[in-house]
Each structure stands twice: as C-alpha cells, then as structure tokens.
Chain A
Amino acid sequence: MQNRDMPLPVSGRWWRAGAIAIPYAWLLLFFLAPFLLVFKISVADPVVGQPPFTALFPGGGSGLVHISWDNYRFLFEDNLYPVSYLKSVQIAFVSTLLCLLLGYPLAYAIARARHPWRNVLLMLVILPFWTSFLLRVYAWMGVLSDHGLVNNLLLWLGVIERPLKILYTDLAVYLGILYSYLPFMVLPLYASLERLDPDLHDAAEDLGAGPLTVFRDITLPMSLPGIIAGSLLVFIPAIGEFVIPSLMGGLDSLMIGRTLYEEFFSNRDWPMSAAVATVLLLILVLPIMVFQRYQVRERAGVQ
C-alpha cells in the first residue's frame, strides 16, 4: 500500500488519477456500456435496414420511448430456446463433472510429486492451453472421427466390428470441453492441494485412519475452495460455448451459444439475439458473482 501519511506531490495526484482513470474508462466504454446496449436492443423490434432494429427514442428528443417485450415473450413460447438453455446447462454440468473426475487425481498427483518435477508437470498441463483452442478442437475431431485413433484402436482390439459414430454426438462435445477446459480445473485444484501440509496426512495415518478416511476428512474438505473455483471456471464459459458444439456436436447439440450465433448470422435478427444473450447473462450472474467473491478472497489471502 502507498504510504498515505505523506501528502502526495502534485505530479503524484495526476499520476494516480491517470493510472486509475485510463483503464477504468476503457472498461466502462468497451465492457460495461456494451452490456447495457445489449439490453437496450433486446427490447427493440427487428427492422430491415442499417442498423437492423428500431430506435429506443424514435422521436429524437421528444421523450417517446419504444420498448417491446415481444422478443422475450417469443423466447419462452418457442421451444427452441428453453431446450437450448437446458441442454447448455446439462452439457456444461456433465463436462464440469468429467473435468473434476480427471482433474482432481491429476492435480493431486502433481501436488504429491517431488519439487523440480512439480513445476515441469504443471507446465505440461498449461502448455496445450496456450496452443490454439480452435486447433485443439480440430485435433480431437481427428482422434474421434470414423477412421480416427479411437475407432482404429477399438477395431484393432476387436472390441467393435464397425467404426462407432463418436464425432458429431454429445459424447464428442463432452470430450471436447473436458479437453479444452481441463487446465482451468487443474490449476486452482493444484493451488489448494499444494498448500496441504503433508504432516496432517501423516498424523491422521498415525492415529489409525485409512487412506479413504484421510481423503474424506482431510484432503477433500481442505481442497474445497479449489473444487469450487475450478468448477466455476469450467462451468461458466462452457455454458456459452460455441466452437465445440458447432464443430464436434451433432445437429441436436443445440447449446445456447450455437443457437445465438446462428440466430445472429443466419437469421440476422439482432434484437432476438440480444434477448437470448440477456437471458444467458441473467443465468450466469449468480455463478459469476460467486466466482468474483472467491477471486477477491483468494487475492486477499495472497496479500
């Protein structure tokens, strides 16, 4: 913290104001204002023209306000949207569970490794995350395709006689999300497991606890913050995922991100897309706020 007993020199006041105001103004303009616009346009009617929606104040300064809730009404009447929202939540939930199932043992294995190895193993988890997301999805399409690695392996082992259809199904979407989001699960889990004092583990064992009891009563509760953070980091973006269902899912993998994208680019119905985005945002407000609180607490812990 700044030494605040001392009055700031004049240049200090300017510097302080600038350092705060410049990034602040940028975020207000390019992050917060756009969300308000999304809401504004979601209560407009679509029109043919540029821009393709009606104005909020059609009378200019005369104070006339044009608000239409038709888009929201349509959103709940047409089956497509409720089904898409539910499907997104379901796919995001299952994928988060899969990430936890693979991520927890992995984070645990890394946290238990000896010191120089730990950083190497952790780096190896992060490395694929840095290489293009799109290309990682592409790589998995190859693995899961009819003549890909998985089918060839199963054929060779004699488990199946004809290639299984994996690509363009929900299973492929689960695997795609699991693969793409795994590092987001592993990093917070590792952070909380690494802090775990091995002496606690030893003490519990000395007192006669079996490995399962030690895990249930010590390791699991102490890694709970990591589980919550990791799950939110996977669950929130996965709900709005577009690329994975679009490239790996079947025609029935109607996740809301994909529905919105198609609504926007194929039907060019901007107000409807804005309404879809507003409802999606409302669904995500709670998990995002939980995530925010967690982040603030974590940072306070660091300081």
Chain B
Amino acid sequence: MNRRYPPFLIGVLAFAYAFLYVPIVLVIVYSFNDSRLVSVWGGFSLRWYRALLENEQVLRAAWLSLRVAIVSATVATVLGTLAGIALTRMGRYPGRFLFTGMLAAPLVMPEIITGLSLLLLFVTLQDLIGWPSGRGALTITLSHITFCMAFVAVVAQSRLAAMDAALEEAALDLGGTPFRVTLDITLPLIMPAMVSGWLLSFTLSLDDLVITSFVSGPGASTLPMLIYSKVKLGLTPDINALATLIIVMVSICVGVAGWLMYRRPVPQRV
C-alpha cells in the first residue's frame, strides 16, 4: 500500500475534534475567569473554586452522588459480570432470549421511561410491603444499579466472547468445580473488563439526571440535580468550576480504564 492519507480527511478530523473539544476547553478556561459575567474575560482567578468549596449545598450533593456512585458501581459490576458469564459460559437455558432482551434494552431505553417506571415500582412496593420506605439514596442506588449492570454486562460479555474457553475447559477436565474454575480462571482473566465496567458505571451513576429526578425524594439532591436547577436559571460562573473539577476527575478515571483495558492483550489461544 502506498496510498497517501487524503488531505480531505485531515480536514474532517480537524473539524470534528474542534467540534468535540472547543466547548469543553472554553468551560475550563472560563472557570478561571475573575468576571461575574460568563462571557467577558476579567483576569485569572480561583474565586469560583473557593465559592464552590464554601457552598454547603454543593458539597452535600456531591457527597450523596459519590456514595450512590460507589455502591451502584460495585453492585452493578457483580451483577453485570454474573450476567455476562450467564450469557457466554452457561449454554442454553429457558428464558435466555428474554434475558438478552432485558440486558440490551436499557442501553437504548429513553431515561424518561425508565425513571417513571422505576418510581411507579417503588411507590407500589412501598404500598404493598412497606419497602423501600420513602424515596432517597436507597431508591436512587437501586435504579442506578439496574441501568449500570446492563453496561457492565456488555463489557464483560465482549471480553468473555473474545476469550477462548479452552483454559476453563481444561481446568474443568482436571476436576475443578465450575465455581472454582470461574473464581480462579475466568474472573482473573476478565478482571480488566470488570474494572472498566466499574469505572463506566461509576461515571454513569455520577452523571445521571433524569432517572434520579424521578426516584429521588425530598432532601435527596444529587449533584446533577443541583446543576440542572442552577443551569435552568441561566449560565453561572461557579458551574464552570464545578464542571472543570468533574471533567478532570472523569478524565483520570477514563485514562485508568483505557490503560487497564488495552495494557494486556486478551489471550486468544493456549
């Protein structure tokens, strides 16, 4: 092959990446703006970061979001990995088709429907058995686990599907019980997928607004809910600072996840 890279495509790349990154860069730049006006540069300042750290409402919302995200990501990773194993290593069983469907649908289901349906579930359950009593951190966490586990299952499943089952079969032939084989062979091999599934769930949970608004109760405001109500009133400079902090944190998470996913190639053949 001696074809040159067409200049037209370089133009496409430049335009597309400018489209993707210029708005984010502007938010970061303006988070250091001393001016109260969002569009006028008034010199470098950290005042919005200081204001953020003194804002108790923001801190409380951030703490709630963080707790929910850590618990949801952890449970979703366990359930999603089990689901991934159940879809790739368990052969056929009744209801498998419905299972696949229930794992794929949350990926595209409009959040507004999922949110409303979960709220109706929680209200009905409370009415019938008294659990969960009221709405708040618990109902938010249960909802986040549900949509996050579908994403974990996709990640785990694609790793498992790309992986040769020969190692596991050999361990079974040598007398390992299926449970031990999963624990000692399968799980270590798909660990990178589990870690990136956890990080993906963590950021999805941290970011969710619509489903959370439905299933949250009075007094339980997550960070996105707070940001939404502020942005709804117009652009405010302290949101820029908050956005910058979140972008930096998420970029670190993504960097770690990407590194873990691509560091070691999947063993294809034994």
Contacts and interface: CB of A to CB of B under 8 A. Distances in A.
A74 interface: no
Interface string A276-295: 01001100100010011001
Given A38-B120, A236-B108, A277-B113, 17 more contacts: A2-B172, A20-B86, A22-B82, A24-B95, A30-B145, A34-B118, A35-B117, A37-B117, A134-B227, A138-B231, A138-B243, A149-B23, A257-B112, A261-B210, A277-B112, A280-B113, A284-B109
Contacts of B200: 130
A131 interface: yes
B118 A30 contact: yes
13 contacts: A14-B179, A15-B182, A19-B85, A23-B82, A26-B79, A30-B145, A134-B224, A135-B239, A147-B40, A202-B1, A264-B116, A277-B113, A281-B113
A124 B178 contact: no
A121 B22 contact: no
Interface string B239-263: 1000100110011011000100010
Contact of B108 (A3, A24, A147, A291): A291
Nearest to B249: A131
Contact of B165 (A1, A33, A232, A236): A1
Interface of B: 1, 3, 5-6, 9-10, 12-13, 16-17, 19-24, 26-27, 30, 38-40, 79-80, 82-83, 85-86, 88-91, 93, 95, 98-106, 108-114, 116-118, 120-121, 123-124, 127, 142-143, 145-146, 149, 153, 157-158, 161-162, 165, 169, 172-173, 177-179, 182, 200, 203, 206-207, 209-210, 213-214, 224, 227-228, 231-232, 235, 239, 243, 246-247, 250-251, 253-254, 258, 262
A125 B20 contact: yes
B242 to A, nearest CB: 8
B90 A19 contact: yes
B211 to A, nearest CB: 11
B117 A38 contact: yes
Contacts of B210: 242-243, 257, 261
Contacts of B9: 105, 108-109, 112
A133 B207 contact: yes
Nearest to B183: A15
A212 interface: no
Contacts of B231: 134, 137-138, 141, 247
Number of chain A interface residues as a range: 35 or more
A35 B117 CA distance: 6
Contacts of A142: 23, 26-27, 30, 38-39, 235
A28 B146 CA distance: 10
A38 B20 contact: no
Interface centre among A108, A128, A264 (most CB of B within 10 A): A128
B143 A296 contact: no
Given A23-B83, A24-B86, A32-B102, A132 B113 contact: no
